[in-house]
Structure 1
Amino acid sequence: MSEPVVAEPRRRLHPLSPVLQGAKSIVVVIAALSWSTLSRVGLGWFAAMVTVLVLGATVLAVVSWYNTGYHVVGRELRIHEGLLWRRTRAIPLERLQAIEVVRPLLAQLTGLAELRLEVVGGGKTEAPLAFLGVAEAVALRERLLRIAGRAPDVVPAPDGTTEPAAPPAPAGYELHAVANRDLVTSQLLTPQAFMLPFGLAFVLAQFLTEGVWSFIAVASTLTAMAGVLLQPARRVLDDWNFRLARDEAALRVRHGLLETRAQTVPLNRVQAVGVTWPLLWRAKGWLRLRLEVAGYSAGEPDDRNRPDRLLPVGDLRTGELVVAELLPGVRLVDLPLVPPPRRARWQHPLALRVIGAGLHHRVFVVRHGLLTRQLVIVPYSRIQSVRVVQGPVQRRLRLATVHVDTAGGSGAAAVDRDLTEAWAMAAELIDRAHAARRAG
Structure 2
Amino acid sequence: MDGARQGASPDERRLHPWSWLFVLLQQLKQFIFPLVALVVFGARRSSGDGELWASLAPVIGITVLVVLAILQYFTYRYTIGRDGLTVREGLLHRSRREIPFSRIHNVVVHQSLLHRVFGVAEVRLESAGGTKPEAQMRVLGLHDALALEDLVRHQSHGTAPVAPGQEAAPRDEGTTLLSLSTMEVLRLGLISNRGMIVVAAGFGAAWQILPENVMAQFFRQGAKQAYGYAEGLHLGWLTGAVGGVALIGVALALVRLLSVALALSQFHGFRLTEEPRRLMVERGLFARLRTSVARRRIQAWTLHEGVLHRLFGRRSLRIDTAVAEKSGQQDTRALKDVAPIAPPEACDALISHLLPQAHWPRDDWRAVDASARWRLWLPSLAWLLPVTALVAWQFGAWVWLPGLAWMLAAAYAARRQAHRIGWALDDHLVAVRSGWWSRYWRFAEIDKLQALRLSRSPLDHRMGTATLWLDTAGASGMSAPLALRFIPEADAVVVHERLTTALARRRLHW
Mapped pair 1:80 → 2:80: no
Contact 2:189 2:262 in 1 (8 A): no
Mapped pair 1:365 → 2:431: yes
Contact 2:195 2:258 in 1 (8 A): no
Q: Could you tell me how far apart the structure 1 residues matched to 2:254 and 2:43 are?
A: 27
Shift of 1:329: 4.9
Mapped pair 1:58 → 2:66: yes
**Aligned residue number for residue 16 of structure 2:** 14
TM-score (norm 2): 0.70
Aligned counterpart for 1:303 among listed residues 327, 330, 334:
330
- Paired residue type of 2:21: V
Q: 1:245 to 1:186 in 2, by over 3 A?
A: same
Shift of 1:339: 2.2
**Aligned residue number for residue 160 of structure 1:** 164
**Aligned residue number for residue 210 of structure 1:** 228
**Aligned residue number for residue 267 of structure 1:** 295
Question: Quick check: 269-278 or 181-190, which moved more?
Answer: 181-190
Shift of 1:226: 8.8
Mapped pair 1:417 → 2:484: no
Q: Could you tell me how far apart the structure 1 residues matched to 2:64 and 2:257 are?
A: 36
Shift of 1:139: 0.7
Matches within 5 A, 1:21-420: 21-28=23-30, 30-32=32-34, 33-34=36-37, 36-37=40-41, 40=44, 49-150=57-158, 160-161=164-165, 172-190=174-192, 207-211=225-229, 233-297=261-325, 300-304=327-331, 305-330=333-358, 332-349=360-377, 350=414, 351-360=417-426, 362-409=428-475, 412-420=482-490
Query: Alignment identity in percent?
Result: 24
Residue 334 of structure 1 aligns to a residue in which SS?
coil
Q: 1:266 to 1:427 in 2, by over 3 A?
A: same
- Paired residue type of 2:303: V
Contact 1:113 1:130 in 2 (8 A): yes
Contact 1:381 1:433 in 2 (8 A): yes
Contact 2:195 2:259 in 1 (8 A): no
Q: 1:300 to 1:28 in 2, by over 3 A?
A: closer
- Paired residue type of 2:14: R
Shift of 1:288: 1.0
* Deviation by residue 1:334-393 (Cα, 9 ceiling, x = unmatched): 253222111233432313122211114542111123432121121223223333222333
Residue 342 of structure 1 aligns to a residue in which SS?
coil
Q: Could you tell me how far apart the structure 1 residues matched to 2:160 and 2:181 are?
A: 42
Q: CA RMSD in A?
A: 3.9
* Deviation by residue 1:259-315 (Cα, 9 ceiling, x = unmatched): 211111111111111111122222122111111111223x74322122111111111
Aligned counterpart for 1:428 among listed residues 485, 489, 498:
498
Q: Could you tell me how far apart the structure 2 residues matched to 1:108 and 1:97 are?
A: 25
Contact 1:69 1:79 in 2 (8 A): yes
Q: Which runs of 5+ in 2 are unaligned?
A: 1-8, 199-220, 231-247, 378-413
Shift of 1:13: 0.9
- Paired residue type of 1:246: E
Shift of 1:161: 4.0
Contact 1:12 1:68 in 2 (8 A): yes
* Deviation by residue 1:124-162 (Cα, 9 ceiling, x = unmatched): 433211100111111111112323443xxx9868x6346
- Paired residue type of 1:209: Y
Greater percentage in helix: 2
Residue 78 of structure 1 aligns to a residue in which SS?
strand
Q: Could you tell me how far apart the structure 1 residues matched to 2:421 and 2:134 are?
A: 38
- Paired residue type of 1:210: G
Q: Could you tell me how far apart the structure 1 residues matched to 2:173 and 2:252 are?
A: 48
Greater percentage in strand: 1
Shift of 1:116: 0.9
TM-score (norm 1): 0.80
Residue 227 of structure 2 aligns to a residue in which SS?
helix
Q: Could you tell me how far apart the structure 1 residues matched to 2:41 and 2:197 are?
A: 38
Q: Could you tell me how far apart the structure 1 residues matched to 2:425 and 2:94 are?
A: 52
Q: 1:260 to 1:44 in 2, by over 3 A?
A: farther
Q: 1:343 to 1:29 in 2, by over 3 A?
A: closer
Contact 2:466 2:487 in 1 (8 A): yes
Contact 1:380 1:436 in 2 (8 A): no
- Paired residue type of 2:313: G
Q: 1:309 to 1:191 in 2, by over 3 A?
A: closer
Q: 1:9 to 1:271 in 2, by over 3 A?
A: same
Q: 1:336 to 1:96 in 2, by over 3 A?
A: farther
Shift of 1:37: 4.3
Question: Quick check: 50-59 or 32-41, which moved more?
Answer: 32-41
Q: Could you tell me how far apart the structure 2 residues matched to 1:370 and 1:394 are?
A: 23
